[in-house]
Amino acid sequence: MLDAVNEKKWNADSLLKKLGRVQRIDLHVGMVQEIWYVNHQKMIDDVLAVIGMKDLFVGKLRMT
């Protein structure tokens, strides 16, 4: 599927496996609500940018 990211070849299965690690956390403090994504990796951002889905995770990211 992808040949460019970190000189590795990624296929749909490996991307889905990596995406499956990302968790969404909804934080509510008083009237303020935030969405955080944890277990997110920089490689995921790189692959999503290549395939045109860089805005998939909207909110605060916590990289691992």
Query: With helix as H, strand as E and coil as C, how does the chain read?
Result: CECCHHHCCECHHHHHHHHHHCEEEEEEECCEEEEEEEEECHHHHHHHHHCCCCCCCCCEEEEC
pLDDT at 1 over 70: no
pLDDT one-digit tens code per residue, 6-64? 556 678 888 889 899 999 988 888 888 888 888 888 888 888 888 888 888 877 766 66
Q: How do the domains of the chain map onto residue ranges? A: 5-63
Q: Encoding tokens for residue 64?
A: 């691992």
